[in-house]
Amino acid sequence: MKTWDGLIQAEELLPALGRDDLIVVDCRFDLADPQGGERAWASAHIDDARHADLDRDLSDHRRHGHGRHPLPDPEALCRRLAAWGISPAHQVVVHDGSDGAMAAARLWALLRMLGHRRVALLDGGLRRWQALGFPLSDRPVKPPPSQYRATFDSTAIVSTEQVLARLHEQPAWLIDARAGARFRGEIEPIDPVAGHVPGALNRPYTDNLAADGRFLAAGVLRAQFTALLGDRCDGAAVMCGSGVTACHHLLAMHLAGFAGVQLYADSWSGWISDPARPLARL
């Protein structure tokens, strides 16, 4: 059977639905309406898709000082995967409402950190699925429980202490996925302090997307990231406001063929939890 480990197109997913080894996870989430994604899923979803909630399932808010969306406990995440019927052998497809940033790329990255390689993001998300006239269902989902045991690859995550130790390292190695105005410190609509980690470079995650909301071609992504970081793309690190949209860069750099890219999961909201840490504005 065909497998996918980066992107899957809607035209590929539709005929694969119903495969015993395939599970779809709907990750729709709205920061302004945290329960809105789950309500939308309950109303209409790709048939048999499970729902992953960014706050409940993909974060651990008991971990204070690690930003607005701290990484989940890996054991708790494995229990949730098992409850969804996912095992390490399954082909998983993740999606959200549109471009993957909220929060399908987050689940894609978390599964990769657990060592799960058969995971792909639905390119263009539910928006493109519906634009193509593909079916949705309101049928309740009752997955059979499975087993999932794994832990995070520590080399895939960079800590605040590691960022501090490399703060003045040149050339630059840390990419911030937030919008330019937030990176420059001109506005900050979410976090209490504006600015960015000194030495970081800015590439909004939206730069990974074509006009139709799908990812740019792998060669284009590779050229653009290389223009930004030169030969530092392998082993670079990515961040954002809370470690969620940064995962869009993890996927984009995977598509581009780069290796060893790390997530600064605490990101800006975790960085500013200690006022003694330096910040920069442009």
Residues belonging to the active site: 240
Half-sphere exposure of 123 (CA within 13 A, CB side): 21
Residue 91: phi, psi to the nearest 5?
Answer: -85, 120
Q: Which residue has the tokens 């995962």?
A: 247
Alpha helices in the chain (DSSP H): 10-16, 36-43, 74-83, 104-113, 125-131, 160-165, 180-184, 218-229, 246-255, 267-271
Tell me the sheet residues that pair with 262: 237
Q: Return d(Cα 236, Cα 169) in angstroms, integer.
A: 12
Closest CA to 193 of 112, 251, 278, 253: 278
Alpha helices in 84-195 (DSSP H): 104-113, 125-131, 160-165, 180-184
Q: Return d(Cα 253, Cα 25) in angstroms, integer.
A: 22
Check residue 205 and report its DSSP letter.
G
Tell me the sheet residues that pair with 26: 51, 95
- Kind of pairing, strands 237-239 and 174-176? parallel
